[in-house]
Amino acid sequence: MLYEQAADEQRYPASITKIMTALLTLEAIGRGELDLNTEITVDAAALADITEDSSTANLQAGEKITVKNLLYCLLLASANEAANVLAMAVSGDIPTFVELMNQRAQELGMAGTHFVNPHGLHNADHYSTARDIYRMSKQAMTHATFREIVSTGRYTVPATNLSKARSLLNTNGLLTSAKHYGYTMDGTIGIKTGSTGEAGYCLVAAVQKKGHTLVSVVLGAQNPTDSRGNVQRKQFTESKRLLNWGFTNFSDATLLDAETYLQELPVRFSSEASHVVVRPTRSVQVMVPGTYDPERLELRLRFHRDVASAPIEAGDVLGTVTVIYAGEEYATVDMAAVSDVSFSPFMAFVSSVNTVLGNIYVRLLLLIALALVVVGLVRRFQERTKEERRAKRQLRQQEKIAFRQREAEARQQDEAQAKLEKEAREQQRKEELLRRQQEAQERQAKRAQEAQERQVKREQERLEREERNRQLRAEREARQAEERQRRQAEREERQRQAEVRRRQEEEARRQREERERRQRQEREARRQEELARRRQEERQARQREERRRQEQADRERRRQAEWERRAR
C-alpha cells in the first residue's frame, strides 16, 4: 500500500459491485457449472428492480444471450439487468447469489463489506471500503477473461432473437475517450466505474508501466462545473494524480536476495568446521520511495545462539534477519544454514571439559593426573571414534534414504487423497446438477399440470364469465394502451431533453469555435494593421530621404550656378 486515505471507511460502492458479480460468474465457469458460450434466457424477474434512470443494456424478457456477452454488458455498459441475469444463472435466484457474494467477500478478507444486490443500486445496507474493493479487484484481475473485458474500449454484442446488434462503450475514461474525453492515461488495463447520487462517482483503475502494475481506488468523487460550464470528472483526474504520483515517487528494489551469504556463525562440537554460513530463506522485493539507495538499507541479524551446536543440517533455521530501508521495517526473514555440520563426540567432550575446568590450576592438576591415561587410551579412542563416525555416517545416510522414502510415500498418499477429493467434488457437482435438473423438471411438470387444471377450470367457467372477461380485457387493453402511450411519451420526452442538451452542447461548442475564429480574425487584422503601419512608416521614411536628397541636389546646383556666375 503506497498511499491511503480513509481506506477502511464504509462507503456505497455503486456499480463497482459488479466486479464481485463478474468474479463469481467466472469462478462458476472455472468449476464447470457454466460456459462462456452458454445461452441464457432473460427472466422477467431479472428486470423487476431496475429503475428507468439506471444504466442498462435494454435486455428484454425472453431474450437469449450468451454468458460472455452478458459479462460485456455488465462490465462495459454497466448494465444492471445483466447483473441480475448472471446472478440467476449462477445461483438460481438473486437472494441466494447475494449470500454467495457476502460469503466470498468474507473469504477475501473484506471485513467492511456487505452486499444486498448484485448490481450496486443504492441500499443503505449495501456498502464496502476502498481497501476491500482493492482486495476484490485484485482477485478478479487474476482471471484472463475479466482482464480482457475490462481492457476493451468498445464491443459489439451480436443480434439476438429480440434485439439488433448492440454497440457497448467502456465508461472508464482512463482507458478510452469514447464516453469521457480528455482523461486517458497510457498503460491503463482496466477496471470499473460506478456512480449513484448517494455514492458519488467511483473508479477502480489499474495501470501497467515499467514492468509494474498499480491499482487505485477512488470513492465518493464529485463532478463540479467550472466557470466555462465544463464538467470536471474528479474520479478520473484524482485517479490519474494518484497513479502518476506512485510511478514517479516509487521504484522497484530487491532489498534481500535469497542467494546472498549473510554471515558465518561459530560452531561447537564439530571437528569438520568451526563456522557455518547462513543465508535468508527467501528474497524481499518491494517498491521503495524514490530511487533505491543501498546506503539506506539496514540488515539486522539475530541468531538464536551466539554459537551454534553441531549437528547442523543444511536448511536448519539459526536466526532471523530484519530488513529495514530508510528507517522503515519491510520484512523479517529466517536465516538458514547453507551446509551440513557433523557432530564430534571428542570435540563435545573437550568443550565440556573446557567449560567445567575454568580454573587453570585445576586444569593443570587434572591434565597431569590424566596424562598417562590419555597416552594409553588415545589410540583406542581414535579408532573407536573413527568407527563411530563411519557408523553414524551410514546411519545418517540410511535415515536420509528412509526419510526420502517416507516423503515419497506421503506425497503419493497426498496425491491419491487429492485425486479422491477431486473425484468426490466432481461427483457432488454432478449430483447437484442432476438434482437441479430434476427440480427444474418437477417445477416444469408442476407448472404444466397447474396450467392444465387452470385451462379446465377456465373452460368450465368460460360461458358464464365470457362477457365480463371481454369487458375486463377491453379495460385492461385501454389501460395498457394508456400506459404504453405514457411510457412512450416519457421516452420521447427524455429523448427530446437529451437532444436539447446535445444541441445546447453543440451550440455552445459552435459558439466557442466562433469566438475562437473571431479572435483569430481580430489577431490577424491587428497583425495586418501593424504590417500596414510599418510599411507606411517605411514609405514616409523613404519619401523624407528622397526630399532630403533633392534638397541637397538643389543646394548643389545653386552652389554650382553661383560659382559659374562668379567665374564669369
The C-alpha atoms of residue 491 and residue 335 are separated, in whole angstroms, by: 70
Phi/psi region, residue 251 (left: phi>0; alpha: psi -120 to 50; beta: rest), is beta
The single-letter DSSP state of residue 183 is -
Residues contacting 120, CB < 8 A, separation 6+: 12, 13, 14, 15, 16, 17, 18, 80, 83, 126, 194, 196, 199
> Is 68 an annotated catalytic residue?
no
Question: Is the torsion defined by CA of 384, 385, 390, 395 positive or negative?
Answer: positive
Q: Which three cell numbers stand for residue 284?
A: 524481499
Say if residue 234 carries a ligand binding annotation.
Answer: no
Tell how strand 263-268 and strand 308-309 pair up: parallel
Across-strand partners of 41? 64
Q: Which of 55, 78, 91, 270 is the catalytic position?
A: 78
Evaluated on CA atoms 122, 126, 130, 136, the torsion sign reads negative
Is 78 an active-site residue? yes
Residue 172: count of CB within 10 angstroms of its CB = 31
Q: Is 18 marked active-site? A: yes
Are 92 and 436 within 8 A, CB to CB? Answer: yes
Among 18, 55, 234, 240, the one annotated catalytic? 18
Locate the DSSP E strands across 249-378: 250-256, 263-268, 275-280, 284-289, 297-303, 308-309, 317-325, 328-337
Distance, in Å, from the CA atom of 349 to the CA atom of 17, rounded to the nearest integer, reads 70
CA dihedral over 177, 179, 181, 184, signed as positive or negative: negative
H-state helical runs in 159-279: 234-249
Residues forming the annotated binding site for substrate? 192
What is the set of active-site residues? Answer: 15, 18, 78
